Structure 1
Amino acid sequence: MTRTSIWLGAVSLCALSALAATPASAQSTQTAAGSSITNTVSMNYQVGGVTQTTQTASDTFTVDRKVNLTVAELGTTTTQVSPGQTAVVTTFQVTNTSNATLDFALVVTQQAGGAGAHANTDTFDVSNVRIFVDTNGNGVYDAGTDTQVTYLDEIAADTTRTVFVLADVPLGRATGDVAAVTLTATGREGGAAGATGAALVQTAGANTSGMDTVFADGAGSTDASRDASYSAKDDYTVLAAALTLTKVSRIVSDPFNGTTNPKMIPGSVVEYCIAVRNAAGGASATNVALSDVLPTTTTYSSAYGILLNGTMTGSTCNLDGASGGSYGSGTVSGTLPSLTAGDARTLVFRVTVN
C-alpha cells in the first residue's frame, strides 16, 4: 500500500467515527506529501549508421509536506444575544490547505478589551465556552447531534470543516455590550484516527532526501505567519431591554367633596397607575409580570377592577387598558405580554383609604 493510500484509509476510518455524516470533500489537486516523483530521460544514438542500445537515466525525489491552514468566521455580522441566554453560537470554518492529512487542535480565547471582529470593542466575557464540530455537515448547530471536540481528526488536504463555538451570556449585560472570542486551529501530525497527533516540527537546514516539513501558513487575527496555526475572531453583541418602573397615585373622590377638589381622608378613592417603560434602541421585553402588595391601610376596589396594558401620554396614564390581572391575598398582579423598545404600558387599579 502506498503512503497516499494509507492516509486515505485513515480519513475513511475517521469518517466512520466522529464525522460519519460529513459530506465527502473534493479530491485535492495538490501532490501529496511523501509522494515520490520520478523523471526518466532516454538517449538513442547510432555508431557507423547502426542504432545502438537505448540508454536511460532516472531521478527520483520525495515531495515535502507543506503545512497550511485557514480559519474564517462564517458570516459577516456579530452574533446578537440576550442577557442570560445560553448556548449562543458563533460559526467558523477550518480549512486544511496543506498537501497532507493533518489533525488540528482547537482553542477558544477571550479578549480583555480591544477591538472585536466587527468594528466594536470587547467589554465582557461569556462563560461555559465549548467547541463542537458540524457532525452532519448541514452548517447549523444541532444540539444532541453535533459532537463536542478539542481537535479535528484526520482532515484530508483541501478539506473544510465547520466548527461551532458555544457560550453562555451573563445576566445584567446592557445593549451594545460585546464579548469577542478567537478560535485558533493548530496543525498536528495526522497520526491515527481517534487521537490527536504530535506537534509538527518544521525541518531545519537543507532539503533532505526524505519528506521534509515546511510551515506555509499566513498570519491570522492573533497568530504569526509560518507557525502552523491560524486564528479568526467573532463576537457576541448584547441586545437588551432597558425597563424603568414608576408608580403614581391620584385622588378620585372623597366622602364629603365627591370628585370636586377631593382630599385624602378615610373613605377616599385613590387610583394607582403602575407604568413600565422600555427605552428606545433595545430589545422587546415579553411577559413583564407586575406584583403590588397593598398597604393594610387601604382596601382594593373590586368594583373598578384592574386595567391592564394601557398607554401613556407623556407622563399621564391613559385609562384605556383592558380588564385583566388579578387580586388575591392583598396583592394586585398582572402581566404585560409585550413591550417593544420605546414603548410604555400601564396597570391601573383603585383602592379606598381605610
Structure 2
Amino acid sequence: MRYQASGAESSAFVKKTVLAALGAVASAALAAPAFAAGTPAGTTISNTATATYDLPAGGTGTVTSNTVTLKVDELIDVTVAWKDPGDVQGTAGGINQVLSFTVTNGGNASEAFTLGSIAALGGDDFDPAVTSIVLDTNGNGVYDAGVDTIYVPGSNDPTIAADGSITAFILSTLPAAANDANRARAELTATSKKGTGTPGTSFAGVGTGGVTAVVGLTGGKGLADGWYKIQKAAVAFVKTASVADPFGGTTQVPGATVTYTLAATVSGTGSLANLKVSDAIPAGTTYKPGTITLDGAALTDAADADAGAFTGSAIAVGLGTVATGTTKTVTFKVKIN
C-alpha cells in the first residue's frame, strides 16, 4: 500500500522547502562582498528569459526571449570630512596653519573634482586668511612642506577612483590681533567636474564609456568645516628688591646686601618658548658671586650646563619653554658699594 500525503501535509512540505531555499539565498547574499560605489559605470548587464511548455504529442517545448542589454550609468557622489581630532591650535599671526580633510568619491567611476575653500563663514570669532590648498602627494595623511603639492584649480584637479579617498590641506594665516581662545573655521569644498544638481539630475553621454552620469544624494558637491583655536600666551614680569644692612636692619647704606627677585608669570593658553631673563648689575653695587637661583635652586655663575650665568656685568637665566599658569622665579644678590 502506498502512502499519499494529505493536502495539508503537502502544503506544509512545500512551504518548508520554499523557506529553506529563501534562507539559502539570503545567506549567499550576506556572504557576498558589499561595494559602496556599486556596480562600475559602463558595466553591461544582459539577460534572456526562457519559457517551456508541454507538446501535444508529448515532451517539452522551449522558447527563449530576446536578450535585453543595459549599461550601468555613472553615479556622481562625493563627501568631504574634516580629519583633525579637534580644534587645530594656532598662534596669532601664525602662517601656514594646517587643517586636514578627507575627500571621498562615493560614485561608481573614477572622477575628477575641483577643490575650493571658504573662510568668511560667520559664527566664529575671526576669519582666517586661506593662503593655499595642498594635495597630500606622498599619501601619508600629514602635511609635508616642500613635498606635498599646492593645488591649482584646473591644473591638477585630483582624480579619485570609485570608493577612493585623498587627503587635502587648507593652509591659512591667522590674524595677529586674534585673542587667546578665539576660534575660526574654514571650509573645504569638492565639486564634480562632470556635473552637479539636485539628486537625480542626469548628464547624457558624459559618464565613463559614454553612459549617462546621474547626480547622487550629495548633489555632486561635498563640503566640511575645520576649526582653528588661538593659543596666545603672555608674560607678566615683576622685579622686587629686599635690603639687609650690616646692623640687622633694612637701611640702604654702603655694605648692605640687596636681593633682587625677578618673577615671570605666563598666562593665556599654550606656552612661551625659549623664555629668558637678564638683569644688569646696577651702578654703585657689586654682584655677590654664586647667588643666582632659579625657583630656589642654586645656579653657577659660569656659562655651563645649567640655566644661569654671570656675564661680568649682568646675570642671565634661560627659563626654556614655560607653560601658561606657571611662574618662574629668579633671584640674585648685590652689595651696595
Q: Report if TM-score (shorter chain) is over 0.5.
A: yes
Q: Which amino acid aligns with 1:251?
A: V
Structure 2 residue runs of 5 or longer lacking an equivalent are 1-33, 302-307
Higher alpha-carbon deviation: 176-185 or 162-171: 162-171
Q: Deviations over 1:111-152 (max 9, x none)?
A: 4541xxxxxxx3234445322333333333333433222464
Q: Which amino acid aligns with 2:145?
A: A
Partner residue of 2:66 out of 45, 57, 65: 57
CA distance in 2, matches of 1:321, 1:109: 54
Offset of 1:338 from its aligned partner? Answer: 4.0
Partner of 2:332: 349
Work out which of the two has the higher radius of gyration on C-alpha atoms and give 1 or 2.
2
Q: Is the 8 A contact 2:135 2:168 kept in 1?
A: yes
Higher alpha-carbon deviation: 266-275 or 95-104: 266-275
Partner of 2:212: 212
Q: Which amino acid aligns with 1:291?
A: S
Offset of 1:306 from its aligned partner? Answer: 5.0
Change (3 A) 1:102 1:206: closer
Aligned residues: 290
Change (3 A) 1:306 1:215: farther
Partner of 2:45: 37
CA distance in 2, matches of 1:71, 1:164: 12
Offset of 1:70 from its aligned partner? Answer: 0.9
Q: Which amino acid aligns with 1:246?
A: V
Higher alpha-carbon deviation: 71-80 or 320-329: 320-329
Q: Which amino acid aligns with 2:325?
A: G
Partner of 1:247: 239
Offset of 1:352 from its aligned partner? Answer: 5.0
1:98 aligns with 2:84: no
Q: Is the 8 A contact 1:217 1:230 kept in 2?
A: no
Partner of 1:290: 277
Partner of 1:309: 294
Partner residue of 1:68 out of 55, 77, 90: 77
Partner of 1:231: 223
CA distance in 2, matches of 1:352, 1:152: 72
Higher alpha-carbon deviation: 42-51 or 262-271: 42-51
Structure 1 length-normalised TM = 0.66
1:108 aligns with 2:108: no
CA distance in 1, matches of 2:332, 2:202: 88
CA distance in 1, matches of 2:254, 2:240: 19
Q: Which amino acid aligns with 2:216?
A: A
Change (3 A) 1:39 1:112: closer
Partner residue of 1:323 out of 300, 311, 316: 300
Q: Is the 8 A contact 1:65 1:98 kept in 2?
A: yes
CA distance in 1, matches of 2:130, 2:247: 60
Change (3 A) 1:173 1:259: farther
Q: Which amino acid aligns with 1:340?
A: A
Partner of 1:138: 140
Offset of 1:335 from its aligned partner? Answer: 1.6
Offset of 1:229 from its aligned partner? Answer: 0.9
Offset of 1:272 from its aligned partner? Answer: 2.1
Offset of 1:235 from its aligned partner? Answer: 1.2
Partner of 1:263: 251
Structure 2 length-normalised TM = 0.69
Change (3 A) 1:144 1:111: same
> Once superposed, what is the RMSD of the aligned Cα atoms?
3.8
Change (3 A) 1:282 1:200: closer
Partner residue of 1:272 out of 239, 251, 260: 260
Change (3 A) 1:179 1:299: farther
CA distance in 2, matches of 1:348, 1:74: 47
Helix, strand or coil for the counterpart of 1:39? Answer: strand
Q: Deviations over 1:309-333 (max 9, x none)?
A: 225xxxxxxxx44235445585443
Q: Is the 8 A contact 1:68 1:216 kept in 2?
A: yes
CA distance in 2, matches of 1:126, 1:306: 48
Partner of 2:183: 178
CA distance in 1, matches of 2:295, 2:54: 109
Q: Which amino acid aligns with 2:252?
A: M
Partner of 2:9: none
Offset of 1:94 from its aligned partner? Answer: 0.9
Structure 1 residue runs of 5 or longer lacking an equivalent are 1-25, 115-121, 190-198, 219-225, 312-319
